């Protein structure tokens, strides 16, 4: 099972290295925990917005970073 975290761990590190370690630990559970435990719906809002503003044949380049949960 992937490693879930308490959000205090995200806001608690006092260094970049500590924060990086927290996200490294959390990476495998990030999407599931954000949606399931924290109720994140940004990805659903983005789909609804784009559906109303793009044409059927439009293309999107997702050149972001992270898990892709929003993209």
User: What angle (nearest 5°) sits at the alpha carbon of residue 30, between those of residues 34 and 24?
Assistant: 145
- Sign for the CA dihedral angle at 49, 51, 52, 54 comes to positive
Reported pTM: 0.73
User: Under a CB-based contact definition with an 8 Å cutoff, are residues 38 and 6 in contact?
Assistant: no
Please tell me the predicted confidence (pLDDT) of residue 20.
94
Q: What is the mean pLDDT of residues 1-26?
A: 90
pLDDT digits 0-9 by tens, 17-58:
999 999 999 999 999 999 999 999 998 998 899 899 999 899
């Amino acid at each position: 099972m992937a490693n879930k975290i308490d959000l205090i761990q995200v806001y608690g590190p006092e260094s970049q290295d500590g924060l990086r370690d927290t996200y490294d630990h959390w990476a495998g559970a990030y999407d599931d925990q954000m949606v399931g435990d924290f109720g994140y719906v940004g990805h659903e809002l983005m789909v609804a917005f784009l559906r109303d503003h793009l044409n059927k044949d439009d293309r999107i380049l997702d050149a972001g970073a992270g898990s892709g949960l929003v993209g």
